[in-house]
Structure 1
């Protein structure tokens, strides 16, 4: 099976993606991750204004098959959350790289993104 892996963002080994625009990093989970989870039924996210730390848990995603922790790709302050997921968590399955995004972080240090995987490296990991 082939999964969508956009090359305009970076990836974590724990299957989150990060897309940086002007120091703000939008975060979600990958197409592979949503496929492995199955139907997403609940997403728990931090509040706007909360601090997150790179590689530490920022939330939880629950599907009919599993409950998984979500990990921050960078450290910083949460400046936006996708509130649509509270009423429609299935957006994560339907459009993981678009409408299914989870939060935006004002990165303390955008250089932390350098520690993440490229699209090619992530593709190798899930192969």
Structure 2
């Protein structure tokens, strides 16, 4: 199964249309993005496709900064400086991923550097 944009030439006859939110959820849950039409980029999620076979993290939570907080990147885009899980959730929501804390901590698309979700300062 793959997620495609509406005009992709590589769709199969068994495709089913979904709204933008359902497509974002599917990509966030690890459904493969079409490498031709790149729906993850079209939806504003990433600059590279997010696929099951390329499970390198696309969201990086950097080690705590000396003045507090952790820088958050999605691809090469800086989402902000998070001081808590609440901040991180808001940054991800603005990027199109309305995840619960459990989804953030469990996702293979998220890399925690310099401490896990319990470390903010």
TM range (shorter): under 0.3
| TM-score where L is the length of structure 2 | 0.25
TM-score, normalised to structure 1's length?
A: 0.25
**As a proportion of its length, which structure holds more strand?**
1
**Which has the bigger relative contact order, CA under 8 A and spacing at least 6?**
1
